[in-house]
Amino acid sequence: MTLNIRYFASLRDEMGRSQDALDAAVANQVSGIIAHLKDRDEKGWVLAEPFVRIIVNGVVAHAETPVADGDEIAFCPPFSGG
């Protein structure tokens, strides 16, 4: 009954950890997860910054994307490959 949260690159540095396991009951949308983490974590506000990309189970997601038990929700700063 968990949501697996991952933080990458600068967001991992900001959050001070690379992942969180949240109780699946805390939210049924991405926006709910962000609200929960903002509440709970001093640095949670960075997850709501406009540059943040959210990937749910490998697919680009948005604030309204539904989340459910077992999902992996990744918070990503802008990509800079190559």
Partner 1 sequence: MSIQVRILPEAMDPAASLAELCGRDSEAGAISSFIGQVRSGDDLIALELEHYPGVTEAALEGIAQAAMQRWSLTEARIIHRVGRMEVGEPIVLVAAAAPHRRAALAAVEFMIDVLKTQAPFWKKEYTRTGSHWIEPRDEDHAAAEGWLRSTQDQAV
Q: Does 74 bind partner 1 (CB under 8 A)?
A: yes
Give me the helices (H) in the chain, please.
9-15, 30-40
Q: Does 19 bind partner 1 (CB under 8 A)?
A: no
Q: Does 9 bind partner 1 (CB under 8 A)?
A: yes
The 3-state DSSP composition of the chain as helix, strand, coil percent (nearest 5) reads: 30, 30, 40
Smallest distance from partner 1 to CB 65, Å? 13
Q: Does 30 bind partner 1 (CB under 8 A)?
A: no
As a whole number of angstroms, the distance between CA 25 and CA 13 comes to: 27
- Residue 75: which of 3, 30, 11 has the closest Cα? 11
Exactly one of 1, 39, 42, 58 binds partner 1 (CB under 8 A); that residue is 58
Contact positions vs partner 1 (CB under 8 A): 6, 8-10, 13, 55, 58-60, 74, 76-82
